[in-house]
Amino acid sequence: EDQVTQSPEALRLQEGESSSLNCSYTVSGLRGLFWYRQDPGKGPEFLFTLYSAGEEKEKERLKATLTKKESFLHITAPKPEDSATYLCAVQPMIKAAGNKLTFGGGTRVLVKP
Amino acid sequence: EAQVTQNPRYLITVTGKKLTVTCSQNMNHEYMSWYRQDPGLGLRQIYYSMNVEVTDKGDVPEGYKVSRKEKRNFPLILESPSPNQTSLYFCASSPTGRETQYFGPGTRLLVL
């Protein structure tokens, strides 16, 4: 069974204090690893897709990296508007799994000015 | 604007009273899916649809039904809601399911 574990559960940062979020996963053949941002009461908003170990993607202050067992979301010099819950999800290669995304529990990030 | 819409956004109902949550996408996506989100359990897939008239169960299908008669719509039906179906529900769509899934704004359901 596919599993995704995110750590830490919560993270409090001062504005400008860089940090990293971890997503550890086990999956029967990785089709893709997805990062989403979720604001309270809203739907997950897509950030990145990573497909193979060594791949990196960047968007503004966010950078996602992927290894064979985990992914990191690095937040560089965060601003208060980066406060959100960040979700990691994996999709297996097997089509029979219904293209299901298996999500981790998320990391709640609070950036204080 | 490309989007997934859900209605209603908030719903309070009583045990046993049938309800339908609608989901519509304007991106001509073949794949659509329903998830529920609960504290401590994260997002879990309820049902999915690979295309019109093709639906299948996800991880937590008990107590739910779906239909896919048109490509753009994928309603979630609770024929006899129970309090354990109180949750935040999200609809998602993807071109074929093998790419990024885009989520709707969510429907918060309370079953008394």
Question: Is B18 a residue whose pLDDT tops 80?
Answer: yes
pLDDT at position B2: 84
Residue reference for tokens 């304007």: B26
The B-side interface with A (CB below 8 A) comprises 4, 31, 33, 40, 42-45, 48, 50, 56, 58-59, 90, 94, 97-106, 108
* B63 bridge partner residues: none
* Average pLDDT for B87-102: 92
Determine the distance from the C-alpha atom of residue B90 to the mean position of all C-alpha atoms in its chain, rounded to a whole number: 5
pLDDT at position A41: 87
Instruction: Please judge whether A43 and B105 are an interchain contact, meaning their C-beta atoms are less than 8 angstroms apart.
Output: yes
- Dist. CA A86–CA A104, nearest whole Å: 9
What's chain B's average pLDDT? 95
Lowest mean pLDDT among A72-81, B13-22, B37-46: B37-46
Residues of A in contact with B100 (CB under 8 A): 34, 46, 49
Residues of A in contact with B49 (CB under 8 A): none
Select from A52, A41, A47, A33 the least CA-distant residue to A104: A33
- A–B interface: beta-carbon pairs under 8 A: 57
Kindly identify which residue of chain B lies nearest to residue A91, measuring between CA atoms: B98
CB B88 within 8 A of CB B27: no
Task: Label each residue of chain A as H, E or C.
Answer: CCEEEEECCEEEEECCCCEEEEEEEECCCEEEEEEEEECCCCCCEEEEEECCCCCEEEECCEEEEECCCEEEEEECCCCHHHCEEEEEEEEECCHHHCCCCEECCCEEEEEEC
Minimal Cα–Cα distance from B25 to chain A, Å?
14
CB B82 within 8 A of CB B19: no
Select from B29, B36, B25 the least CA-distant residue to B109: B36
Residues of B in contact with A41 (CB under 8 A): 106, 108
Instruction: Please judge whether A99 and B40 are an interchain contact, meaning their C-beta atoms are less than 8 angstroms apart.
Output: no
CB A76 within 8 A of CB A18: yes
Contacts of B76 (CB under 8 A, 6+ apart): B20, B21, B23, B34, B46, B47, B64, B65, B66, B89, B91
* Average pLDDT for B85-89: 98
pLDDT of chain A, 113 residues: tens digit per residue: 889 999 999 999 999 999 999 999 998 889 999 999 999 989 999 999 999 999 999 999 999 999 999 999 999 999 999 999 999 999 988 766 667 889 999 999 999 99
Residues of A numbered 42-71 whose beta carbons fall under 8 angstroms of chain B's beta carbons: which are they?
42-46, 49
pLDDT at position B96: 86
Residues of B in contact with A42 (CB under 8 A): 105-106
Q: Does A34 touch chain B (CB under 8 A)?
A: yes
Kindly identify which residue of chain B lies nearest to residue A85, measuring between CA atoms: B42
As a dihedral over the C-alpha atoms of residue A20, residue A67, residue A38, residue A16, rounded to 10 degrees, the angle is 20
- Dist. CA B24–CA B89, nearest whole Å: 14
